[in-house]
Amino acid sequence: MKKISFLFFSFIFCLIFSSSGHTKGPAIITKVGLHQSNKSSRVEIRFTELPDKVPDLMASLQTVSFDLNAILPEKRRKRVKKNKLTNKEYVINSTNFINKVQLYPGDETTTFEIKRQYYSPVNFLRQETPPALIVELPRNYFEKESVQLKPGIIKHLIRTENNRGPVVLHMLEVDPSNKNISFKVGMPGVRAGLKPALYKIKGKETLAQIVKGQMAFAGINANYFDVKLGNPIGTLITDGTWITGPVYDRVAIGFSDDNKVFIDQVMLAGSVTTHRGFRRKPRAMIEIDGLNTALHLYNKTGLFTRNWDEKMDLPKGKVALVIKNNSVKKIENENVEIPEDGYIILGSENYLSSVKKRDRLKVEWKSNPDWSEVKEAVSGGPYLIMNGEIYVDHEKQKFKFAAKDTFAPRSAIGLDKNEKLFLITVDGRKPGYSVGLTLKELAEILKKLDLKEAINLDGGGSTTLVADGGIINTLSERHERKISNALLIFYK
């Protein structure tokens, strides 16, 4: 009797699972295929019947997984059985973009996992003949996700790739015409109410500290700077006061009181006329080509205020005219103190030999182009986009570091054709996440985004973008680097 019962149930079991009608039995995976090219990578999972829907995706940077049970027809959501005759087809290894595909059957779920070298979009397609689920990972993609932080301020995340790997960009799109928005230079130690004459340029803070200290909504790192001393290199203007002058006539970006944006290569020339006694006719004319700029970055004569430092050690062969109330109080040739209510003029002994103690001086500055309307400005370089076209002039602006094949984290700023301002950072030095960009590659992306003007800013470990109380980009170093200055965005 026991033998008859066993044979009867065995017959029923075999009858159910040998039925040719797919509507009565559980769905079976019949084949798994992998096809890869320069345009895309495709995984094909064939079934005995078409899945009801595409799966819900679970993904990390290098792994894509989903549950096959959940996409089967409602009445077939049982354990997907492995076809033992083709078991080897469910594990595929590769040295291309997709490294491995594998099936993990379980009691309640059947997980299908795809291992990839780095992030890429995932597209699902249900194929009717033969019944299959197609998983496509396109290459050379360009994805953008956007969210509004404030009216007039939009945050963008861009994912793309090049021949070295994945690239991630973070951007703030800002509408200068919004009356609630204003721009200002951010500097270490500067707090609300402090006058520009008291700013100290030889200092460093993180961008997060600068943004918080000046109670701004957002900010991006700006000028290049002396890593040891902290002094910025190139144009820096705040509250209408030139803090530092241009270097090699490099490009800068400036803002007027009504948020008009200026992007141009800037030159600043100073001239000093000297008078002695009661004579009205000038006795001598002195040219000044550096303002609070390191000695090796200008040609003849530099002017230094307390923004630079309280004291200064003079190199051999240099003299300093100590000026207070537009009069020469001292002429020093060793260490010199920079007066709070004055300045010093530093040059060679020969060039300044015509100036004597108690001479009266008059200093005049002229910028080309005329930036008298500019109230806030930071410097960068080289150009990336000019008049809507790619224009990377690193040699012209004397950037020795900007080799064509140097890919790194980047910071940039620019305007599109609708006069929207873009603050841009590129994550870099993170294999498998974002490898960084060369200057030309960055320019190509900015052209794709339809920017009409754009300039590079200090990058590498300095690259930082802060908004709404947090750091937006992924830092290339373990900790946020201290920087010399920033461009800040304020929101009323």
Residues 404 and 381: their CA atoms lie apart, in Å, by 15
**Are 100 and 93 spatial neighbours (Cβ–Cβ below 8 Å)?**
yes
Residue 26 pLDDT: 54
Q: What is the CA radius of gyration of the chain?
A: 33
The pLDDT tens digits of the residues spanning 382-439 come to 999 999 999 999 989 998 765 556 899 999 999 999 999 999 999 999 999 999 999 9
Where residue 300 falls among pLDDT bands split at 50, 70, 90? confident
Q: Which is more confident, 22 or 103?
A: 103
**Percent of the chain whose predicted confidence (pLDDT) is above 90:** 75
**pLDDT class of 28 with cuts at 50, 70, 90:** confident
DSSP 8-state code for residue 78: S
Taking only the tens place, the pLDDT of each residue in 130-139 is: 999 999 999 9
Q: What is the dihedral of CA 398, 400, 403, 404, to 10 degrees?
A: 10
Task: Give the pLDDT mean for 103-129.
Answer: 89
The Cα–Cα gap between 436 and 431 comes to 9
Which pair of tokens denotes residue 40?
A: 């895309």
User: CA 44 → CA 79, 119, 174, distances in Å?
Assistant: 20, 19, 44
Q: What is the pLDDT of residue 14?
A: 36
What's the pLDDT band for 85 if we cut at 50, 70, 90?
Answer: very low
| Cα 469 to Cα 217: distance, rounded to the nearest angstrom | 7
Distances (CA, A) of 214 to 207, 390, 488: 11, 35, 9
Structure tokens at 359: 């001479």
Q: Are the C-beta atoms of 65 and 104 separated by less than 8 Å? A: no
pLDDT in tens, 160-212: 999 999 999 999 999 999 999 999 999 998 877 788 888 999 999 999 999 99
Is 262 a residue whose pLDDT tops 80?
A: yes
Alpha-carbon distance of 467 to 178, in angstroms, equals 17
| pTM of the complete model | 0.89
Give the chain's largest Cα–Cα span: 136
Report how far residue 254's alpha carbon sits from residue 372's, in angstroms, rounded to the nearest whole number: 11
User: Which of these, 83, 78, 25, lies nearest to 49 by C-alpha position?
Assistant: 25
Q: What is the mean pLDDT of residues 318-341?
A: 95
Structural contact between residues 415 and 255, judged by C-beta atoms closer than 8 angstroms: no
3-class DSSP state of 212: helix
Please check the confidence at residue 455 and state whether its pLDDT lies above 50: yes
Give the residue among 437, 200, 387, 181 at the shortest CA–CA distance from 306: 200
Domains and CATH numbers, the chain: 20-138 (2.60.40.3470), 147-266+372-491 (no CATH), 268-366 (2.60.120.1140)
